[in-house]
Amino acid sequence: MKKDINIKEVARKCGVSIATVSRVFNNSGPVKESTRKKIEKIIEETGYRPNVLARELAEKKTHLVGMIVHSMIGEGLPRTINGVNDVLQQHDFNLLISCSNGSFESEMKHFEIFRSKRVEGILFATREFKKEHSKIIKKLPIPVVVLLQKTSQEKIPYVAFDNYRFAKEATKRLFELGHSKFAFIGGPVNATNAIERQQGFVHALLESGLEVEEALIKNGDYTIEDGYWKMESLLSEKKELTAVVAVNDGMAIGAINCLQDHGVNVPDEISVLGLDDTVLAKALRLKLSGVHYSYTDLGKVGAEILLKQIESNELKFEKHLIPYTIHLRESVARVKPSDGRMIGNIFSPQ
CA distance 251 to 75: 14
Position among 1, 7, 18, 96 found at the interface with its own copies (CB under 8 A) = 96
E strand or H helix that includes residue 64 = strand 64-69
| 316 contacts 189 by C-beta, under 8 angstroms | no
Burial status of residue 6 (CB atoms within 10 A of its CB: 0-12, 13-18, 19 or more): middle
Check binding of 95 to its own copies (CB under 8 A): yes
Check binding of 18 to its own copies (CB under 8 A): no
Smallest distance from its own copies to CB 33, Å:
25
Question: Strand, helix or coil at 189?
Answer: coil
Q: Which listed range, 27-35, 102-110, 158-166, 196-204, lies at the site for its own copies (CB under 8 A)? A: 102-110
Q: Which listed range, 132-140, 197-205, 219-227, 335-343, lies at the site for its own copies (CB under 8 A)? A: 219-227
Question: Strand, helix or coil at 232?
Answer: helix
Check binding of 19 to its own copies (CB under 8 A): no
User: Looking at beta carbons only, is 111 or 184 nearer to its own copies?
Assistant: 111
Check binding of 82 to its own copies (CB under 8 A): yes
The site map against its own copies for 108-127 (x = CB under 8 A) is -xx--x---x----------
Burial status of residue 105 (CB atoms within 10 A of its CB: 0-12, 13-18, 19 or more): exposed
E strand or H helix that includes residue 291 = strand 289-292
Beta strand 243-246 pairing with 182-186: parallel
Which one-letter amino acid corresponds to residue 15?
Answer: G
- Interaction with its own copies in 48-67: which residues (CB under 8 A)? 54, 58, 64
Q: At what angle do helices 18-26 and 50-57 cross, to 10 degrees?
A: 120
The site map against its own copies for 228-257 (x = CB under 8 A) is ----------------------x--x---x
Check binding of 104 to its own copies (CB under 8 A): no
Which one-letter amino acid corresponds to residue 279?
Answer: V
E strand or H helix that includes residue 59 = none
Position among 108, 235, 284, 321 found at the interface with its own copies (CB under 8 A) = 284
Helix locations, the chain, DSSP H: 7-14, 18-26, 33-46, 50-57, 76-90, 104-116, 131-139, 163-176, 192-207, 224-235, 249-261, 295-312
Check binding of 7 to its own copies (CB under 8 A): no
Q: Which listed range, 7-15, 132-140, 148-156, 277-285, lies at the site for its own copies (CB under 8 A)? A: 277-285
Check binding of 72 to its own copies (CB under 8 A): yes
Smallest distance from its own copies to CB 219, Å:
20
The residues that touch its own copies, with contacts defined as CB under 8 A, are 54, 58, 64, 72-75, 77-79, 81-82, 85, 89, 94-99, 101, 106, 109-110, 113, 117, 223-225, 250, 253, 257, 260, 279-285
